[in-house]
Amino acid sequence: MALTRNNLKTSALLAVLVLVAPASGLAASAKENFEWYCVQCHGSDGTGKGINSVKELPVGPMDLSNPKEMKKFTGEQIIQTLTRGGPVNTLDSLMPPWGNRLAKDEIKALMQYVRSLCKGTDCPK
Partner 1 sequence: MIAFKKGPLLKWWGAVLVLGCVHAPLAAAGPAQGKQLFEAKNCGACHQMSGPVEAVPVAQRSKIKGPPLWFAGSKFKNEWLIAWLEKPTALYRVKYGTLEQGANSHPALSKADAQEVGAYLMSLTDPALKAGAVTAEKLNRRKMLEAEKLFTKKQVCFGCHQYASKQGDIGGFSGPSLVGAGNRLQADWVHALLKDNVRYYPNARMPVYGNQAFEAFTDEELKLLSQYIGNL
Please identify which residue in 7, 11, 93, 112 interacts with partner 1, judged by CB under 8 A: 93
Please identify which residue in 18, 58, 90, 125 interacts with partner 1, judged by CB under 8 A: 58
| Least distance from partner 1 to the Cβ atom of residue 78, Å | 15
What 3 state SS string does 34-69 have? HHHHHHHHHCCCCCCCCCCCCCCCCCCCCCCCCHHH
By CB under 8 A, residue 39 contacts partner 1: yes
DSSP 73: -
**CB-count burial class (<10 Å; 0-12, 13-18, 19+) for 64:** buried
DSSP 76: H
Binding-site size, partner 1 (CB under 8 A): 31
- Binding residues vs partner 1 (CB under 8 A): 24, 26, 28, 32-33, 35-37, 39-41, 50-54, 56-58, 83-85, 92-94, 96-101
